[in-house]
Amino acid sequence: MRLSALLLRVADPERLSAFYADTLGMTGRAQGANRRVGYGGQDADLLLMPGGGGYTQDSGQRYWKIGITVPDVDLAAAYLRQNGVEVTDPKQFLDIGYMCHLKDPEGFVIELLQHDFKGNRPANVADPAAPFANACIGQVTLRTGDIAAEDAFCRAQGMRLLSVQEVDPYGFDLHFYAFTDEVPPNPDLWSVENREWLWKRPYTTLEFQHLAGAQFAPAPDYRGLEVQGLTASLRDAFGDPVRPG
């Protein structure tokens, strides 16, 4: 099985597909009234569906962001700025990763996350003219106040927990699940050692930002997930749809 798509309802699927293709190096194609964009590897696509518009990022909602993993965040950020895209300054966020953030033309948040921590990146690891050549949609991030329920659902579908990361200054922790048989290098899933390994995976992980006991609202333009190999549609622990790919 494979996490094969994130479903988002948007105002203009064709225009937004062009942004992801022309600016972030994805490939897009029509799928009925929808547009499907992605990097063509084992990672998930974005399925852009009509009927949305007016999306505003809200930290009180279930859906948060996608994470795109790249070899060199500095090159990627510089490339985007040269193409008129506003990007935050790259920085090492605690012992999580070296990253920056931007929004697509409809306001959906994108995190660019480097394979290696600041100071650990190999020299000449990416082409300045094509910084997204080896990119991957590495994370789809949801929020939850009940990680036990999310864990039970993910494991029931055959997903494996790969990493747990404490973000103590902000009062939450992060949990990463994937359809894989791979085992992290350190059996202690809280270990920092596993994190750069995780950012190099070629498939998409389902990331939960867990704030114990918090209540989150549905995000109207988040339409759920698609899983290749699933035989029937389901509802996840929050009640959002998970459909066959």
Q: pTM here?
A: 0.97
Domain that holds residue 214: 2-244
Compute CA distances 180 → 1, 66, 100, 155, whole Å: 8, 19, 27, 12
Is the distance from CB of 173 to CB of 165 less than 8 angstroms?
A: yes
Strand 34-38 to 27-31 pairing: antiparallel
* pLDDT tens by residue, 86-143: 999 999 999 999 999 999 999 999 999 999 999 999 999 999 999 999 999 999 999 9
Q: What is the spatial distance between Cα 108 and Cα 66, in angstroms, rounded to a whole number?
A: 8
Mean pLDDT across the stretch 171-194?
A: 98
Say how many domains are in the chain: 1
Question: Can you tell me whether residue 138 is helix, strand or coil?
Answer: strand
Distance of alpha carbon 198 from alpha carbon 194, whole angstroms = 6
DSSP class per residue in 21-58: HHHH--EEEEETTEEEEE-SSSSPEEEEEES-------
* Residues 58, 60: Cα–Cα separation, whole Å: 5
pLDDT recorded at residue 115: 98
Question: Is 90 exceeded by the pLDDT of residue 242?
Answer: yes
> In this predicted structure, what is the pLDDT of residue 172?
97
CATH number of residue 180's parent domain: 3.10.180.10
Q: What percentage of the chain carries pLDDT values higher than 70?
A: 100
Mean pLDDT of 184-199: 98
Between CA 196 and CA 215 the distance in angstroms is 31
pLDDT tens for 72-83 read 999 999 999 999
Q: What is residue 234's predicted lDDT score, i.e. its pLDDT? A: 97
Helix, strand, coil shares of the chain, percent, nearest 5, are 15, 40, 45
